[in-house]
Amino acid sequence: MQFLWAFIVGGLICVIGQLLMDGVKLTPAHTMSTLVVAGAVADAVGLYDPLVKFAGAGASIPITSFGNSLVHGALTELEKEGWIGVITGIFDLTAAGISSAIIFSFLAALVVRPKG
């Protein structure tokens, strides 16, 4: 049953993104930014962690999870180290994802020959 809920929740997040691009005519970059901010706001008000517990990978894999990680890391470090923790906490939880994106996009650029 967990796989079904992961599929449904992850699919709904993707449907929201597609509706933003098709219905509101947002660019992919604006859509991605909107979903990151939505994940950050959902974590700030305490809604994203219960969603991850309910849907598992359906909520932890989409781009909204990146916003969740940013806010979650910042708030965790804020409690531990004060205001400087807001800055360091953001990089603490998201460093692996950012590093992976940079490395894999560089490798793809070597293989595919990007245009532009």
Query: Which pTM does this prediction carry?
Result: 0.72
Asked if the structure places residue 18 within a domain, the reply is yes
Total tally of structural domains belonging to the chain: 1
pLDDT digits (tens, 9 = 90+) for 18-40: 999 999 998 988 998 899 889 88
Q: Which domain holds residue 83?
A: 1-111
Asked if the structure places residue 116 within a domain, the reply is no
Task: Please choose, from the candidates 58, 55, 11, 13, the residue with its C-alpha nearest in 3D space to the C-alpha of residue 34.
Answer: 13
Q: Which of 4-18, 32-46, 76-90 has the lowest mean pLDDT?
A: 76-90
Asked if the structure places residue 46 within a domain, the reply is yes
Asked if the structure places residue 27 within a domain, the reply is yes
pLDDT for residue 15 is more than 90: yes
Asked if the structure places residue 23 within a domain, the reply is yes
Asked if the structure places residue 38 within a domain, the reply is yes
Q: Which residue has the higher pLDDT, 101 or 60?
A: 60
Q: How far apart are CA 26 and CA 70, in angstroms?
A: 23
User: What are the φ/ψ torsions at residue 22 (nearest 5 degrees)?
Assistant: -85, -45
